[in-house]
Amino acid sequence: MTSRTRQGAVALAAALLTAATGCAGGAGAPETPPARQDPGSPAAPTAAGGASARTGFTLVASGDVLPHASIIRQASADAGGQGHDFRPMLAGVKNVVSGADLAICHMETVYGRDGGPYTGYPTFKSPPEVAIALKETGYDSCSTASNHTLDDGAAGLGRTLDALDKAGVRHAGSARTAEEAARPTLLKAGDATVAQLAYTYDTNGIPLPEGQPWAVDLIDERKIIADARAARKAGADVVVVSVHWGTEWQTAPDNRQLTLGRSLTASQTDGRPDIDLILGTHAHVPQAYEKVNGTWIIYGMGDQIAGDMINHAGSFDPRGNQGTLGRFTFAPPTAPGARWEVTKAEFVPQWFDTGRGRVVNLNAAAKEGGGNTAVRDTIRQVVLERGAAKDGLVMGE
């Protein structure tokens, strides 16, 4: 993804025309993941007539966490100059995130060493305290495959995953070892075991570390499908694929997104779809939701945390601070061999107020009389532009 703050915009404008940038993540809390992330699940009880008596679940997902230099300064101020505190930035959506049975974020950037130095665009090294904030906001797992995953090489990748582990946040899309790369990330939600897989279109031209071709998962249709099928064999009831893709600053999904989305949602094994949900990031702007081949795709959730964004024309673009959270309610299969079905699909419009350094739940704020309804309605128009309303997508709060 591309990311810039207003300061120095003129000097950086030319570089923006060719560069791409990403998000960030942080460190710190218990080593043991919470019980709802335990991949083991007991055998499901069966009701009369063979119907499953298992419990369904809700899943929430959000877009790019992208700590620019201005975001790092805000976190320092929120910590009173003693380290960095990103929790106040996310407080406005904590009720949505923590209220879900399973919550997934996108950690686009890598973490620097404890104490710094920390950097924003173009080569990110974020404070590891981001991870603490993600955990305390309610996130269970984050995709870590982006064009910035190798901004600080294998060392930065390792620090990031170590910090997420310490905070009790699971992750998918990058790995420290071949063994880790080969294992799907399995998460517990209700009575379901959910697999999260994650992939990126590129790493900004930075080659994969020597001898570590598995360090970052790159988009490859055949591999994604093979990984999804392997996750099923490992016990996944639901397979969620996080994809870092698309054209920056373009609200409409590009041809690659549309083509890959159709192919992935069409893939089946024994009549059952291999993939149950696709979550897109990278474009910096909200993109549409669409149900394709019976499976929901979010083409792009936009940025969740980012500084003032400068687009490829060198201009401040407020869309770079707009985004959505997707919320999906899954119900157990009604017959042996059937899929877990999405019975309710929602989007929650959000905005990052760079003046205050806070994420705002726009629909909830509007109902309280203090929301930016014009921004909310703009996001809604983009989200629904591919006809998702007819398939039941509604705006939540």
pLDDT at residue number 44: 41
Whether the per-residue pLDDT at 32 is higher than 70: the answer is no
Whether the per-residue pLDDT at 45 is higher than 70: the answer is no
Task: Quote helix, strand, coil % in the chain, to nearest 5.
Answer: 30, 25, 45
Cα–Cα distance, 158 to 165 (Å, whole number): 11
- The whole-model pTM stands at 0.88
Mean of the per-residue pLDDT values of the chain: 89
Q: Which of 18-22, 101-105, 334-338 has the lowest mean pLDDT?
A: 18-22
- Residue with tokens 């890598």, as numbered in its chain: 110
Q: Please work out, in degrees rounded to the nearest 5, the angle formed at the alpha carbon of residue 320 by the alpha carbons of 314 and 325.
A: 165
The fold for domain 9-46+54-395 equals Purple Acid Phosphatase; chain A, domain 2 (3.60.21)
pLDDT at residue number 18: 34
pLDDT tens, residue by residue, 153-193: 999 999 999 999 999 999 999 999 999 999 999 999 999 99
Q: How confident is the model at residue 7 (pLDDT cuts 50, 70, 90)?
A: very low
Long-range contacts of the stretch 213-216 (C-beta < 8 A, 24+)? 214/175, 214/178, 214/181, 214/182, 215/149, 215/150, 215/154, 215/157, 215/174, 215/175, 215/181, 216/145, 216/149, 216/150, 216/157, 216/173, 216/174
pLDDT tens, residue by residue, 330-382: 999 999 999 999 999 999 999 999 999 999 999 999 988 876 899 999 999 99
Q: What does the pLDDT average to over 70-96?
A: 97
Q: What does the pLDDT average to over 17-32?
A: 33
Give the whole-number percent of the chain exceeding pLDDT 90. 84
pLDDT at residue number 180: 98
pLDDT at residue number 53: 78
pLDDT tens, residue by residue, 109-161: 999 999 999 999 999 999 999 999 999 999 999 999 999 999 999 999 999 99
pLDDT at residue number 90: 98
Domain limits of the chain?
9-46+54-395
Cα–Cα distance, 323 to 347 (Å, whole number): 10
pLDDT at residue number 369: 81
Q: How confident is the model at residue 9 (pLDDT cuts 50, 70, 90)?
A: very low
pLDDT tens, residue by residue, 230-240: 999 999 999 99
Whether the per-residue pLDDT at 263 is higher than 70: the answer is yes
